[in-house]
Structure 1
Amino acid sequence: MGKHRLRTAWILLWFSVLFVSLQPVVLSQSPQEQTVYVVPVEQTVERGLEAFLERSVNEAEKTNADHIIFEIDTPGGAVDAAGNIASIITNASVPTTAFVTEEAMSAGAFIALNANKIAMAPGTEMGAAQVIDGSGNAADDKAQSAWIANMKNAAELNERNPVYAIAMADPSIELEEYRAGEGSLLSLTASEAVEVGYAEYVVDDREELLLELGLEGAEVVEADISLAEHIARFVTHPVIIPILLSVGSLGLILELYSPGFGIPGILGALSLFLFFFGHAIAGFAGLESIVLFVAGLILLAIEIFVPGFGVFGFLGIGAMIGSMILASFSTLNIVLSILIAAVVSIAAAAILFKTFGMRGPMKRLVLEDSVTTDEGYISNVSRKELIGKTGITLTPLRPSGSINVDEERLDVVTEGGYVDQGEQVTVVDVEGSRIIVRKVEAD
């Protein structure tokens, strides 16, 4: 009986030890909390937005997020920026969903098509993705063809029927059931997008979308645009760049017409600082472009205060233009912006020079003092009293030479002819230091 109790106690002890040892294993197998990153894609699509989205996706990947939701509300924007953003989305190691909260037009539609899934809120639209040039007209056939190919590839990437993506960019595709009118670009409503397989969900809000994705209990991390990224998005806009450069150059020119360093110089320097700061935050401007720009300013200052026959000025302007091209995301856009700024600067300089003349540091470039005979300055002695006097040539006049008048040797010139040595001549005119003579003909 005692042995039986002892055996029973040992068995209970082993079961207790086994249970305790298995507890950590059971706890480690409990599900961990999931994380969802929500990234806003709002306003115009441009390179500043691209930099923000790249940072946000990198953060989501580093924190091992389970899903990324891009909340889209944009009328479109730059094609090159949209292409780069699409690459960021497709290359993300985290599953992605595009949630159209208001509209995803043009470049916004292209971005949405690159996500793994698409959700749309009721009353939203997606489409109308034709390429538009700077003047608001349809781009050339080459650009349109490339863009249509991009839209087609984006649709096929997630096994969507490409005909609808092509119709969003090509008005010649016939889809009467979904078009607003003949020759119009395709735009899909939320219900139409679900019908043609371009959206998986129609949801009222983010919470409903999380429920559809099976992430209702996930921790939501909202990616916020920093102040620096807000500035970068603003100053890298293609419309803002020529304004900044014009204000910058105009401010520096106005500063040359005012003594000291005042408001025009501050505005000019601030505009140029914002240009480089925004492009640096967006990842376009490196230290080399900033150093090159400062070197250009120094060379221009040398040209202004220590004139060097234009060499320093030419090198300075070249360095500044080169720095802006290095800092820009588009060579064509920055060249056009520089040309606009140059026209504004030249026109302003001409108006200021005509209105105010040379003022401030510009006065150092021009000698304004004048000397007059009223103040006692005489550039040369005028010998008008010699007119009518006669003399003898000491040297042949060919047509210049020397004569002797009243025992005074004078350098003279004839009216154009040759006069031999020893001939008699008469002074017929005096023009400053120039004494003109004529040969006396024998009777």
Structure 2
Amino acid sequence: MRIILPLLFTGALLTLFPAALGLAEQDAVVQDEVKAELRRRAVMIPLQEDINPLSGALLQRKFETAVESGVEVVIFDINSPGGFTYVTFELMDMVLDAKDVETVAFIEKDAISGAALFSLACDRIIMLPDARMGDAGEIVMGADGAFRYTEAKSRSVLAQKVRDTAAATNRPIALAEKMTDKDMVVFKAINKDDGTIRYFSDKEWVAFEEQEKWIKGRPVREAGKEMFFTANGRRATELGMANQTVNSREELADVLNVAEPIPVLERSWVDTLVFVLNSGFVTFLLIAIGLIALVVEFSAPGLGIGGLTSVLCFGLFFWSRFLGGTSGWLEVTLFVIGILFIGAEVFVIPGFGVAGVGGIVLLLGSLVMASRRFALPQGGADFTGLGADVLTVAGAFVAFLIALVLLAHYIGEIPGLGRLTLKPAVTIDGFPTRDVSDEMLVPGWQRVAVGDVGATVSPLRPSGRVEIEDYTIDVVTEGEFVESGTKVKVIGKQGARVIVRAV
């Protein structure tokens, strides 16, 4: 009996142990599910290129999409050398003004110059241990092609922006400013009463009225004379510029308490198309083809293949500039006004004068303005960019003129475009003759001559249709409106355009 009872007890334990183990596993699974449900929703947006109007506009659109989706954390995956100052300021304001989401700068490699300033504006900065951030001094390219420090006025604006941003995100103001100022020196000071650590610049220390309450330490080695503050992840965390370091994206998700895997807002096909359409060569083709198609359309009344092609080319041009952040409605308005001026010169005003020249200037000027990457040129780099934009538009215009000359000579031999040219009449002994079999193949406007009289079959306002003999043709007046059923006389011809006047 003494042996049987322990055996029965042991058997009962062995029976219950698997059940208990199964319950423990179920509890662990439930706990994991609860933790997953408690994790916050996040999305990652890459910033893996230089900061320019195009990349900045795309990043802003991605950020708006992320916020509208209702996520709680937006992570910027940063590896960028920086770029345009004014675009950087716009991106900094974007994240500083975002109140419904937590913004995180995740630096795996480099956040240099404008990318470092953008990181400074985020709520948290998390870096890999060997990643780097800093070196945000503002430089411009001079007339000699060499880069140099910007003027004091521009540096003052940048320094104040950085100080305000560091104060808003609770980071050492002096170290943040040191990223933009190579002349100042930053050192650590310790409060004698409570041991608080604070970083001062030499300029700030001179004007500080409570020096006796602080113990001035040695300069920070990354913030000495003649250098812009730059630090790796470990050092930036130690100095308070970064919040902490992680070794992987999985660890990043745990630190931020967000669900894994973190979805990434990759570049869409629309973004890729915008980048392609903004390239110099494609821009050149769009403008050149659009101008050629516009002339073809002006050569024949009504909306045809030329007009549709021109609308497509310039539509793609301005659409890509709108999404690229370099164009607005002003450029589109100037472009349309230029087209109207040229149209008035061709169809209404005889000759070629102020309206035509003004229209061309407005048209080309609007194309340059829509391609510009800055508000006003402020340095050598801006003027270089402006020169590149002007060269692209001017090159496309020259290509258009060359194509126009070639079309004038060979358009009659191109299938489908021969109708745009006026073929000479066949003569016998100096007198015109007609081949009745071929006459039906000749467009009506080629068969009409100056002095012919016909009647309008539709109102001319100022274009419309006129019946002359047994055929109907498209005509225009000199600008006046003519009612239907009125006799008119052909007073001129310009290519496929027939000009009439009421008799």
Give the TM-score category using the shorter length.
0.5 to 0.7
The aligned counterpart of 2:40 is 34
Report the 3-state secondary structure (helix = DSSP H, G, I; strand = E; otherwise coil) of the residue aligned with 1:332.
Answer: coil
Cα displacement (A) at 1:174: 2.2
The aligned counterpart of 1:340 is 391
Question: How has the CA–CA distance of structure 1 residues 270 and 148 changed in structure 2, closer, same or farther, with 3 Å as cutoff?
Answer: farther
How far does the alpha carbon of each residue in 1:105-163 deviate from its partner, in whole angstroms, 9 at most, with x for none? 00000110011110111221101111122453322221111112112222121111111
How far does the alpha carbon of each residue in 1:177-226 deviate from its partner, in whole angstroms, 9 at most, with x for none? 434985222211111101110111111221111212233x4563321222
Question: How has the CA–CA distance of structure 1 residues 110 and 317 changed in structure 2, closer, same or farther, with 3 Å as cutoff?
Answer: same
Q: In 2, are the aligned partners of 1:250 and 1:268 still within 8 Å (CA)?
A: no
1:178 and 2:207 are equivalent in the alignment: no
Equivalent residues in 2 for 1:50-89 (5 A)?
A: 50-89=56-95
Q: In 2, are the aligned partners of 1:37 and 1:220 still within 8 Å (CA)?
A: yes
The aligned counterpart of 1:399 is none
CA distance in 1: counterparts of 2:221 and 2:313, whole angstroms: 47
Equivalent residues in 2 for 1:18-417 (5 A)?
A: 34-92=40-98, 93-135=100-142, 136-175=147-186, 177-179=220-222, 183-215=226-258, 217=259, 220-233=262-275, 275-286=317-328, 289-290=331-332, 292-297=334-339, 299-300=341-342, 308-320=351-363, 321-322=365-366, 324-325=368-369, 330-332=374-376, 336-337=387-388, 339-341=390-392, 344=395, 359-361=406-408
Q: In 1, are the aligned partners of 2:48 and 2:79 still within 8 Å (CA)?
A: yes
How far does the alpha carbon of each residue in 1:225-270 deviate from its partner, in whole angstroms, 9 at most, with x for none? 222223435666xxx56x6666666667899999x9xxxxx99998
CA distance in 1: counterparts of 2:313 and 2:376, whole angstroms: 21
CA distance in 2: counterparts of 1:362 and 1:140, whole angstroms: 55
Report the 3-state secondary structure (helix = DSSP H, G, I; strand = E; otherwise coil) of the residue aligned with 1:221.
Answer: coil
Please report the TM-score for the alignment, with normalisation by the length of structure 1. 0.60
Cα displacement (A) at 1:357: 12
CA distance in 2: counterparts of 1:45 and 1:74, whole angstroms: 8
How many equivalent residue pairs?
326
Report the 3-state secondary structure (helix = DSSP H, G, I; strand = E; otherwise coil) of the residue aligned with 1:133.
Answer: strand
CA distance in 2: counterparts of 1:222 and 1:318, whole angstroms: 45
Q: In 2, are the aligned partners of 1:251 and 1:269 still within 8 Å (CA)?
A: no
How far does the alpha carbon of each residue in 1:74-132 deviate from its partner, in whole angstroms, 9 at most, with x for none? 01011111111111111222011111011100000011001111011122110111112
Q: In 2, are the aligned partners of 1:303 and 1:310 still within 8 Å (CA)?
A: yes
Q: In 2, are the aligned partners of 1:245 and 1:272 still within 8 Å (CA)?
A: no
The aligned counterpart of 1:424 is none
Q: In 1, are the aligned partners of 2:289 and 2:400 still within 8 Å (CA)?
A: no
The more displaced of 91-100 and 132-141 is 132-141
Cα displacement (A) at 1:363: 11
Q: In 1, are the aligned partners of 2:181 and 2:228 still within 8 Å (CA)?
A: yes
Q: In 2, are the aligned partners of 1:256 and 1:362 still within 8 Å (CA)?
A: no
How far does the alpha carbon of each residue in 1:54-80 deviate from its partner, in whole angstroms, 9 at most, with x for none? 333333333332211111110101111
CA distance in 1: counterparts of 2:172 and 2:181, whole angstroms: 15
CA distance in 2: counterparts of 1:357 and 1:55, whole angstroms: 40
Question: How has the CA–CA distance of structure 1 residues 79 and 309 changed in structure 2, closer, same or farther, with 3 Å as cutoff?
Answer: same
Which amino acid letter does the alignment assign opposite residue 77 of structure 2? Answer: E
Which amino acid letter does the alignment assign opposite residue 186 of structure 1? Answer: F
Which amino acid letter does the alignment assign opposite residue 72 of structure 2? Answer: D
CA distance in 2: counterparts of 1:143 and 1:362, whole angstroms: 55
Which amino acid letter does the alignment assign opposite residue 309 of structure 1? Answer: F
Q: In 1, are the aligned partners of 2:44 and 2:263 still within 8 Å (CA)?
A: yes
Q: In 2, are the aligned partners of 1:246 and 1:340 still within 8 Å (CA)?
A: no
Q: In 1, are the aligned partners of 2:250 and 2:260 still within 8 Å (CA)?
A: no
Which amino acid letter does the alignment assign opposite residue 243 of structure 2? Answer: E
CA distance in 2: counterparts of 1:51 and 1:346, whole angstroms: 28
CA distance in 2: counterparts of 1:269 and 1:178, whole angstroms: 60
Report the 3-state secondary structure (helix = DSSP H, G, I; strand = E; otherwise coil) of the residue aligned with 2:263.
Answer: strand
Report the 3-state secondary structure (helix = DSSP H, G, I; strand = E; otherwise coil) of the residue aligned with 1:76.
Answer: coil
Which amino acid letter does the alignment assign opposite residue 407 of structure 2? Answer: G
The aligned counterpart of 1:440 is none
Question: How has the CA–CA distance of structure 1 residues 312 and 180 changed in structure 2, closer, same or farther, with 3 Å as cutoff?
Answer: same
Question: How has the CA–CA distance of structure 1 residues 249 and 31 changed in structure 2, closer, same or farther, with 3 Å as cutoff?
Answer: closer
Which amino acid letter does the alignment assign opposite residue 90 of structure 1? Answer: L
The aligned counterpart of 2:433 is none
What are structure 2's unaligned runs of at least 5 residues? 1-33, 187-218, 300-307, 378-384, 412-503
Q: In 2, are the aligned partners of 1:190 and 1:202 still within 8 Å (CA)?
A: yes
CA distance in 2: counterparts of 1:332 and 1:269, whole angstroms: 29
Which amino acid letter does the alignment assign opposite residue 105 of structure 1? Answer: I
Report the 3-state secondary structure (helix = DSSP H, G, I; strand = E; otherwise coil) of the residue aligned with 1:169.
Answer: coil
CA distance in 1: counterparts of 2:164 and 2:244, whole angstroms: 22
What are structure 1's unaligned runs of at least 5 residues? 1-27, 261-265, 365-443
Cα displacement (A) at 1:341: 4.3
CA distance in 1: counterparts of 2:82 and 2:311, whole angstroms: 32
